[in-house]
Amino acid sequence: MALPEGSKGKVNSAPHVFVYIVESPSAADLLNGVSEGHLIKESLKLAGINAVYSLAVDYSSFLKAIYSRLHEVMVELNSIPILHLSAHGDESGIELTDKRFINWNELRSLLIPLNKILQGALILCMSSCSGFQGLKMAMSEGKEDPFMAIVGNAGTPKWSDTAVAFIAFYHRLFKRASLPDAINAMCIASGDNGFTVEFASTAKKEWIRFVEKQRWAHVAKELEKYLKELSLTKS
């Protein structure tokens, strides 16, 4: 899906920030009225923090939520978003309500245009099992990043823990705490030390360093093999 016409790659250099929640719960969650996203939105509202909620039950509505609807809200509020994705997931990606699976590579391609519009300043909050595995999206030799920083948990936290954790995170962040301090608040509030943050630039550098090391290890191995064969030929 293309980005909205007239966006021109940025949004009026707005200094204000809001939390944009896109939730895709399971069918069972919907049936039982379980909504982490609504709970976070209402809690942030009490704290005077702007938060907007979108429900995405399938791929089409997910695309509309992260593109056209988000653009409308950004223009309306004259603010830039922190993107909060709430869904079930695993180490490979996230699953939407209709069971459509979005792997990290696909989500990366969807987020790159958004991060580009935000001039590389997108903070992505992954509220899902293995959400921090989304860091894999930054492990690429490509020039464009899908986000500036990612917040999440590499384990399998309960919805109650993720809700409490992210409420604490946003509460501290909007009181101008640093990202590490806000992460610490998440861990204390939820009793789960698995919540963490990482920057795309750091992950990319580590990934490129790893890849180059593997390449040179392969070259060295092949060279050693060649020299051994050469010596056998001459003997």
We report the CATH number of the domain holding residue 106 as: 3.40.50.1460
Both tokens of 45, joined, read 């509202």
pLDDT tens, residue order, the chain (235 aa): 444 444 444 444 335 999 999 999 999 999 999 999 999 999 999 999 999 999 999 999 999 999 999 999 999 999 999 999 999 999 999 999 999 999 999 999 999 999 999 999 999 999 999 999 999 998 887 789 999 999 999 999 998 999 999 999 999 999 999 999 999 999 999 999 999 999 998 876 764 565 566 655 555 566 566 556 655 655 5
The number of folded domains in the chain is 1
Let me know if residue 192 belongs to a domain. Answer: yes
Place of tokens 């792997």: 103
Let me know if residue 211 belongs to a domain. Answer: no
Let me know if residue 73 belongs to a domain. Answer: yes
Nearest-angstrom CA–CA distance, 24 and 97: 5
Nearest-angstrom CA–CA distance, 169 and 44: 11
Residue 42, domain extent: 16-200
Q: What is the pTM of this model?
A: 0.83
Let me know if residue 100 belongs to a domain. Answer: yes
DSSP 100: -
Let me know if residue 217 belongs to a domain. Answer: no
The angle subtended at Cα 100 by Cα 95 and Cα 103, nearest 5°, is 60
Q: Which residues contact 147 (CB under 8 A, 6 or more apart)?
A: 83, 111, 115, 122, 123, 124, 137, 138, 200
Let me know if residue 219 belongs to a domain. Answer: no
The predicted pLDDT at position 202 comes to: 84
Other CB atoms closer than 10 Å to residue 65's CB: what's the count? 22
Let me know if residue 222 belongs to a domain. Answer: no
Let me know if residue 139 belongs to a domain. Answer: yes
In one letter, which amino acid is 52?
V
The predicted pLDDT at position 3 comes to: 47
In one letter, which amino acid is 202?
T
Q: Which residues contact 42 (CB under 8 A, 6 or more apart)?
A: none
Per the CB < 8 A criterion, the answer to whether 27 and 57 are in contact is no
The predicted pLDDT at position 217 comes to: 58
The predicted pLDDT at position 141 comes to: 74
